[in-house]
Amino acid sequence: MLSFFVLVHVLSGIIGIGPTYYAHVLIRPHQSPEQLRASLALLKRLEYFPKIGGTIAVVSGLLLVLIGDYGSFMQLWLFGSLVLYLAVQVIMVTLVSPRSAKLHFWVHHADNQGAEDLPAPQHQLLLSMNAWMNAASSLGLILFILMILKP
């Protein structure tokens, strides 16, 4: 039974946080409004994976701690992993999503359908969004390192 929970935990972790790594590649700083429109549509579809997979990863991880022989919850690798996961979620939900919504509104507004370039405010939103996605990817990488190198 423990092996099953480990399998569920690892797969849901990969599926759940995977789009975080893909998002900053998808949403690049120098996209045309047309390219950004397509990228934002794909990003919106990818948002389901962290919501579902990430939730399953946290629940299965907590179950593993309760039923497995992993020691105290306050170990750096275990507590740190949970904090990093929450930090990635906070970045994506509170910092990336609002910027994405603003860009989504701009690129889909009828007045902007023929625009060749992003105006400065939208370009700044895109740069900021990309920077936060890079931060989330970096934290996710540290999270996976902690999970792999745990004592």
pLDDT at 51: 81
List per-block mean pLDDT (blocks of 10 residues) for the chain, which spans 151 residues. 87 83 83 89 85 87 85 81 88 91 90 86 93 92 86 63
- What is the C-alpha separation between 117 and 88, in angstroms, rounded? 30
pLDDT at 151: 63
pLDDT at 125: 93
- What is the C-alpha separation between 90 and 92, in angstroms, rounded? 6
- C-alpha of 106 from chain center: 22
Q: Residue 72 has which token pair?
A: 């105290």
Q: What pTM was estimated for this model as a whole?
A: 0.84
pLDDT at 32: 87
pLDDT at 69: 82
pLDDT at 123: 92
Hey, what amino acid is at 96?
V
Q: What is the 3-state secondary structure (H, E, C) of 24-35?
A: HHHCCCCCCHHH
pLDDT at 124: 94
Minimal CA–CA distance to 142: which of 88, 92, 97? 88
pLDDT by residue (tens digit) across 73-88? Answer: 788 888 888 899 889 8
pLDDT at 101: 92
